[in-house]
């Protein structure tokens, strides 16, 4: 099964991320990078908000083999990353100290995501509230970023005539230039809802 690690951010932060060439832990109050696991076939996926803020970095799943990480339920993160690796740590769905030869087993994490989404079928933000995967080391974009998804959140109905005025289909030239220097494509995702649709855009 294909899956991706995604990190939502603002277009303002994306400029700084691309300038540095890294996803940095220092941008978080707890010095950790917050991400989600994205894959096809989740319950109610077509109605789900796909990511936080205006844009999203799509990271290669290889990072789960290479980097230390832990996954937990929403807001279950530890202020100190290493505390998640203590024997008495709670709410840890999967964790790894990195440098793995094979991909980590994500079965428990996936079962948790499906369970949460089935329990809250009528909520459009169930996916982004279902789990978190956290890293404590800066991530080089050249090595791990497959692409960037750019698209302002669609607040108005798709039938609202104000939509095209408020959310034009334009990727800022500055972002395109910065991303091109790192050989990272930027793809526009206009609908904002639909997890499988987002994966279609990633894989085009």
Per residue, the 3-state secondary structure of 41-88, as one string, reads CCCCHHHCECCCCCEEEEECCCHHHHCCEEEECCCCCCCCHHHHHCCC
Answer with the residue of higher pLDDT: 158 or 9: 9
Tell me which residue of 183, 152, 191 sits closest to 11, measured CA to CA.
Answer: 152
Burial class of 165 by CB neighbour count within 10 A (0 to 12, 13 to 18, 19+): exposed
pLDDT given at position 159: 46
Domain with 177, as residue range(s), is: 4-203
User: In a 3-state reduction of DSSP, which class is residue 141?
Assistant: helix
Helix (H) or strand (E) run with residue 6 in it: strand 4-9
Per residue in 123-168, pLDDT (tens digit) is 888 999 999 999 999 999 999 999 999 986 544 444 455 445 555 5
Q: State residue 164 phi and psi, 5-degree precision.
A: -70, -25
Crossing angle, helix 11-20 and helix 173-181, to 10 degrees?
A: 30
Q: Per the structure, how many domains does the chain have? A: 1
Per residue in 67-108, pLDDT (tens digit) is 999 999 999 999 999 999 999 999 999 999 999 999 999 999
The C-alpha angle 15, 21, 27, rounded to 5 degrees, equals: 65
pLDDT given at position 158: 46
């Amino acid at each position: 099964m294909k899956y991706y690690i995604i990190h939502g951010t603002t277009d303002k932060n994306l400029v700084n991320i691309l300038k540095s060439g890294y996803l940095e832990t220092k941008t978080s109050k707890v010095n950790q990078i917050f991400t989600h696991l994205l894959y096809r076939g989740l319950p109610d996926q077509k109605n789900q908000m796909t990511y936080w803020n205006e844009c999203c970095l799509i990271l290669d799943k290889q990072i789960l083999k290479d980097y230390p990480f832990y996954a937990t339920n929403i807001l279950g993160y530890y202020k100190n990353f290493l505390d998640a690796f203590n024997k008495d740590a709670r709410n840890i769905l999967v964790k790894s100290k990195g440098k793995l030869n094979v991909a980590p087993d994500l079965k428990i994490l996936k079962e948790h995501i499906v369970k949460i989404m089935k329990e809250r079928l009528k909520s459009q933000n169930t996916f982004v509230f279902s789990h978190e995967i956290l890293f404590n080391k800066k991530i080089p974009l050249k090595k791990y970023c497959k692409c960037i998804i750019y698209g302002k959140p669609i607040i108005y109905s798709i039938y609202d005539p104000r939509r095209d005025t408020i959310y034009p289909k334009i990727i800022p030239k500055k972002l395109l230039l910065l991303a091109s220097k790192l050989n990272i494509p930027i793809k526009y995702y206009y609908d904002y809802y639909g997890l499988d649709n987002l994966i279609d855009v990633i894989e085009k």
